[in-house]
A and B are shown apart, each in its own frame.
Chain A
Amino acid sequence: DIQMTQSPSTLSASVGDRVTFTCRASQSVSDLLAWYQQKPGIAPKLLIYKASTLENGVPSRFSGTGSGTEFTLTISSLQPDDFGIYYCQHYDSDPCSFGQGTRLEI
């Protein structure tokens, strides 16, 4: 099975900052990579799929890049509502495992 590793585990930033999350796959997953945001007590929300395609309704300050084994999620200008935990997930083959998450503190 493919393992997903995210870094850092926690990220502290200020409103207006540019922040970047990293996700690595144990083997190539092409561009079959999704990103989710989860806030406390709420179900995860899909942000990006196919490594760089923004889900409908997701603000354009979110962007994703990468292919193969290395991926990044960037928030261009951090907003107060962006706190939470961010997870990557590959979907190259089942089981479509998640990374362990990066906690974003504002």
Chain B
Amino acid sequence: EVQLVQSGAEVKKPGESLKISCKGSGYSFTSYWIGWVRQMPGKGLEWMGIIYPGDSDSRYSPSFQGQVNISVDKSINTAYLRWTSLKASDTAMYYCARHGPGPQGTAWYFDLWGRGTLVTVSS
């Protein structure tokens, strides 16, 4: 089955670090960009950034550049989203989703979504 499986919900304190994961299966993981999308409580979808597992090339929305880090371990078909110092405003649902095919697929739609990881940051 073609799917993206995300890690479980997290509750963290401000200032803590966090890394959430997204594991792909059922397709050629290294051949498609993987993206991250933020959805704050009661709000819309925000395109955060993407990474190409084939060569770890990454792109970020200016709104998220420097705020998060996207990485990948292609040996285990897993992409990551990392924060070094969480803020309360990072509280949101984070979705990973399959983006475009091939090295040129930086501008594409999301055709396969994970179920989301809820991150709650509270003192």
> Which A residues are within 8 Å of any B CB, using their own CB?
1, 32, 34, 36, 38, 42-46, 49, 55, 85, 87, 89, 91-101
> Which B residues are within 8 Å of any A CB, using their own CB?
37, 44-47, 49-50, 59-63, 95, 97, 100, 106-111, 113-116
Contacting pair A43 B45 (CB below 8 A): no
A98 to B44, CA, bound (A): 8
B111 shortest CB reach to chain A, Å: 5
Contact of B109 among A43, A96, A100 (CB under 8 A): A96
Contacting pair B111 A94 (CB below 8 A): no
A100 to B110, CA, bound (A): 17
A43 to B39, CA, bound (A): 10
The total number of A-B Cβ pairs within 8 Å is 69
A101 to B63, CA, bound (A): 19
B14 shortest CB reach to chain A, Å: 26
Contacting pair B111 A1 (CB below 8 A): no
A43-B116, A44-B95, A95-B62 known; A34-B46 Cβ under 8 A? no
User: Majority SS of interface residues in chain A?
Assistant: loop
Which residues on B sit within 8 Å (CB–CB) of A38? 45
Contacting pair B110 A46 (CB below 8 A): yes
Contacting pair A1 B45 (CB below 8 A): no
Which residues on A sit within 8 Å (CB–CB) of B107? 32, 91-94, 96
Contacting pair A96 B47 (CB below 8 A): yes
**A to B CB contacts below 8 Å, 25 in the list:** A38-B45, A42-B115, A43-B95, A43-B97, A43-B113, A43-B114, A44-B37, A44-B45, A44-B95, A44-B113, A49-B109, A49-B111, A85-B44, A87-B44, A91-B107, A91-B109, A92-B107, A93-B106, A94-B61, A95-B60, A96-B109, A97-B46, A97-B47, A98-B44, A99-B44
A96 to B35, CA, bound (A): 10
